[in-house]
């Protein structure tokens, strides 16, 4: 950097991993979808991680958009070959995050959004804690959680009952997360989520080129003083 020339903007930072967890029906999928849509429409460097699952597809879901729906043997072979960044059994089905798309997105400086459960979150903490920003979404009440599960009306009553019963397991892990949002109103919850993402993007430790950038600014100031 020559004194007198404007400071170069800092190089692109490594992407962060925004992890969202909640009991089934707390509104996490709506938040995930909205954030992804907004980030894409703003042309931001953002990647939604699409998990593999052995669960049956719901009528409203699209293969490769909501999940990659795969068979149990395929899941096992991916897991054995180390192709999953994390994986878990949830409500009797297997879910996992394909490793390669995430690593590529992070290396390109894209932020990656994950909709995964507490077991997956703990696995990401083990391998990549500094990159993970975790958010737990709480329902405003159990009555509302139940109403949302029933309103979705895509699962059979026994599946809904099982998900509700499993909520206690997920709920008990809230304190392992960096941020907690109580989803009383989806617009407010969405604003909180965006605020978290925006603040985490400018965290000092995530901006590798700051030292050189500020050195450039100081060099410019030095040049100013000489003229
Ligand atoms: P659902 O069947 O309602 O789509 O998802 C059930 C649960 O599995 C949700 O809590 C969701 O966050 C979690 N889940 C979805 N994909 C993954 C994944 O790749 N890994 C882990 N650990 N959990 C996942």
Q: What is the pLDDT of residues 207-221, one digit of tens each?
A: 888 999 999 999 999
120 lines ligand 1 (CB under 6 A): yes
Distance 20 CA to ligand 1 centre (A): 10
Better pLDDT: 154 or 115: 115
115 lines ligand 1 (CB under 6 A): yes
Distance 90 CA to ligand 1 centre (A): 7
* Residue 21 contacts residue 116 (beta carbons within 8 Å): yes
The model carries a pTM of 0.91
119 lines ligand 1 (CB under 6 A): yes
* Residue 9 contacts residue 213 (beta carbons within 8 Å): yes
Q: Among residues of the chain, what percentage have pLDDT more than 90?
A: 75
Q: Give the CATH number of domain 17-49+112-226.
A: 3.40.50.300
Q: Is 58 helix (H, G, I), strand (E, B) or coil?
A: coil
Helices (H) and strands (E) in the chain, counts: 8, 9
Nearest alpha carbon to residue 79 among 103, 63, 99? 99
> Residue 158: pLDDT band by 50, 70, 90 thresholds?
confident
Q: Can you tell me which atom of ligand 1 is nearest the CA of 121?
A: 22
24 lines ligand 1 (CB under 6 A): yes
| Least confident piece of the model among 7-11, 39-43, 202-206 | 7-11
The protein residue whose alpha carbon is closest to atom 23 in ligand 1 is 116
96 lines ligand 1 (CB under 6 A): yes
The protein residue whose alpha carbon is closest to atom 11 in ligand 1 is 116
Q: What's the token pair of residue 195?
A: 């605020």
31 lines ligand 1 (CB under 6 A): no
Sign of CA dihedral 73, 75, 76, 77: positive
Q: Rounded to whole angstroms, what are the CA distances from 34 to 141, 168, 174?
A: 22, 26, 22
Q: pLDDT tens-digit profile of 100-133? A: 999 999 988 899 999 999 999 999 999 999 999 9
């Amino acid at each position: 950097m020559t004194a007198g020339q404007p400071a170069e903007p800092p190089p692109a930072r490594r992407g962060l991993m925004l992890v969202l967890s909640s009991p089934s029906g707390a509104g996490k999928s709506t938040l995930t979808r909205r954030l992804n849509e907004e980030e894409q429409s703003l042309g931001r460097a953002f990647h939604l991680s699409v998990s593999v699952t052995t669960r049956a597809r719901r009528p409203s879901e699209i293969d490769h958009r909501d999940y990659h729906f795969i068979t149990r043997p395929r899941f096992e072979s991916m897991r054995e070959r180390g192709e999953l960044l994390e994986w878990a059994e949830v409500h009797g089905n297997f879910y996992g995050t394909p490793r390669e798309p995430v690593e590529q997105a992070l290396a390109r400086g894209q932020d990656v959004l994950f909709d995964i459960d507490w077991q997956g979150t703990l696995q990401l903490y083990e391998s990549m804690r500094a990159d993970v920003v975790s958010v737990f979404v709480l329902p405003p009440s159990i009555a509302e959680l139940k109403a949302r599960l029933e309103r979705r009306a895509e699962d059979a009553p026994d599946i809904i009952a099982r998900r509700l019963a499993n909520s206690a397991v997920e709920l008990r892990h809230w304190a392992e997360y960096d941020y907690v949002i109580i989803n009383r109103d989806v617009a407010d919850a969405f604003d909180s989520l965006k605020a978290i993402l925006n603040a985490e993007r400018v965290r000092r430790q995530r901006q590798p080129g700051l030292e050189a950038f500020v050195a450039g600014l100081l060099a410019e100031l030095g040049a100013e003083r000489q003229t």
